[in-house]
Structure formats: structure tokens, C-alpha cells
């Protein structure tokens, strides 16, 4: 089997297992398969996937990293401090490995800030920082020390923050995509069955 279109990728990613018991303090909301597929597909079309080593930071069930492996990444390092969700990620990887020829995967169960490895690119959909203040800032600060290219998703309302921290770390924003990110009611305080968050996906590259 092979992935021949963005739609193919979306369909395959939609079959992956998601969070079993999302943790509120970690803001564990799954990245929708259509957004993940477009994200990964755009990277692949830019030649940023095939043969690369990529970190999926705060990977959750691994939809981004697995999408990258399906599109030819040589190795994906899945990092999440929630050991239970990392096990779901591992199961998703094994499922895909049985169906497709995909690259290697490493699974690291600790805080992304402790990662001391190397990678070509970082992809991340970090907590938006609504439960733990500046959680998204910590992800960006670490990502900028590891790779030349960082893809990171944040609330659209934090656009000025993303621009400022890029400048601080001598990165430039080369592309931005805007999405309506659906969040299903999974916690008791959610009053509506579905809430939509305005988010942006930023591609950032170290200045030369």
C-alpha cells in the first residue's frame, strides 16, 4: 500500500487511535486528521520529509509523526511526558508498520525540555498555554535550540508572541497557515459538544 494523495493520507491518519483519557492540565486535544494531513503533505511537497530525522514534540497519539513516516521520513522521535499516551502512540506506529513500509521510530517519555538529541526538523502542536501559562513558550524555546526548521501550532491570538520569540532566537517566519481547530467536549466544564479554536501553523527557519 502507498499514500498517493493528501486525501489518502487523511483517511489513513483518521484510523489512528486517539487519547483514551485526555489530561486537562496537559491540554490534550487531538490534532484533526485533515489538518495533520495538510500539514505533513505541505512539508513533503517542500522536500522536508523524505530521508529526514524529525522530532514530534508533545506527540500525543502521534498523528503528525506517523504521517511524516508514511510520507518517507527516515526516523521520527516521538516525545511526550505522558507515558500512557506514548503507549498509544507506540501502538499506532506498530499498526502502520504492519501495513506500510515506514522508517524508524523512537519513543521518549519525558518533558521535551530535557531532550538533548538532534533533528533536521521539529513539528509540534504544544499546549496553547491556557492551563499552564507559557507552556507553548517552553516548547518553542527548546525547539529553536535543536533544529534549523520548526513547525509549530498556536492560537491565532498569540501571533505577536510567535513573531517576537522568533526574532529573539534569530528565526524567520517563512509561511503561516490558519485553521479552525475543533475541540470536542471531553471535560465536565465543556458546555458545548464542539468548540472551534482559531489557530495558526507557523513555519520558522533559522536565519543564515
Strands 194-206 and 149-155: antiparallel
Which range, 22-31, 73-82, 119-128, is most confident? 73-82
Q: Is 166 domain-assigned?
A: no
Q: Is 27 domain-assigned?
A: yes
Per-residue pLDDT band at 129 (split at 50, 70, 90) = low
Q: Is 157 domain-assigned?
A: no
Q: Is 180 domain-assigned?
A: no
| Cell 527557519 found at | 205
**Residue 50: pLDDT over 70:** yes
| Cell 507553548 found at | 136
Mean pLDDT value of segment 25-29: 58
Q: Is 182 domain-assigned?
A: no
What is the C-alpha to C-alpha distance for residues 108 and 153, in angstroms, rounded to an integer?
Answer: 21
Mean pLDDT value of segment 124-139: 76
CA atoms within 13 A on the CB side of 83: 0
Query: Which neighbouring-strand residues pair with 203?
Result: 151, 175
- Count of domains in the chain? 1
**Residue 123: pLDDT over 50:** yes
Write out pLDDT tens, residues 180-199: 988 765 545 445 567 788 99
Higher pLDDT, 164 or 183: 164
- C-alpha cell, 164: 517576537
CATH of the domain at 138: 3.40.50.150
Chain center to CA of 27: 13
pLDDT of 100: 96
Per-residue pLDDT band at 115 (split at 50, 70, 90) = very high
Q: Is 161 domain-assigned?
A: no
Tell me 154's DSSP state. E
The residues near 118 (Cβ < 8 Å, ≥ 6 apart) are 53, 146
Domain that holds residue 138: 6-150
Q: Is 130 domain-assigned?
A: yes
What is the C-alpha to C-alpha distance for residues 96 and 45, in angstroms, rounded to an integer?
Answer: 22
Sign of the CA dihedral running 12, 4, 39, 126: positive
What is the C-alpha to C-alpha distance for residues 61 and 19, in angstroms, rounded to an integer?
Answer: 6
Amino acid at each position: 500500500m502507498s499514500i498517493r494523495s493528501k486525501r489518502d493520507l487523511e483517511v489513513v491518519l483518521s484510523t489512528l487511535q486517539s487519547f483514551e483519557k485526555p489530561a486537562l492540565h496537559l491540554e490534550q486535544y487531538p490534532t484533526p486528521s485533515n489538518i495533520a494531513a495538510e500539514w505533513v503533505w505541505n512539508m513533503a511537497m517542500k522536500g522536508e520529509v523524505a530521508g529526514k530525522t524529525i522530532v514530534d514534540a508533545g506527540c500525543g497519539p502521534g498523528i503528525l509523526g506517523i504521517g511524516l513516516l508514511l510520507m518517507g521520513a527516515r526516523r521520527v522521535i516521538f516525545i511526550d511526558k505522558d507515558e500512557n499516551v506514548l503507549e498509544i502512540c507506540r501502538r499506532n506506529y506498530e499498526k502502520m508498520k504492519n501495513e506500510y513500509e515506514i522508517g524508524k521510530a523512537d519513543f521518549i517519555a519525558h518533558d521535551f525540555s530535557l531532550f538533548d538529541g538532534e533533528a533536521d526538523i521539529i513539528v509540534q502542536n504544544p499546549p496553547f498555554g491556557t492551563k499552564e501559562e507559557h507552556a507553548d513558550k517552553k516548547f518553542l524555546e527548546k525547539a529553536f535550540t535543536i533544529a534549523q526548521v520548526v513547525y509549530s501550532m498556536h492560537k491565532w491570538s498569540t501571533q505577536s508572541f510567535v513573531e517576537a520569540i522568533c526574532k529573539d532566537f534569530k528565526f524567520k517566519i517563512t509561511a503561516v497557515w490558519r485553521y479552525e481547530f475543533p475541540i470536542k467536549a471531553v471535560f465536565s466544564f465543556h458546555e458545548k459538544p464542539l468548540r472551534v479554536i482559531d489557530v495558526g501553523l507557523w513555519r520558522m527557519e533559522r536565519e543564515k
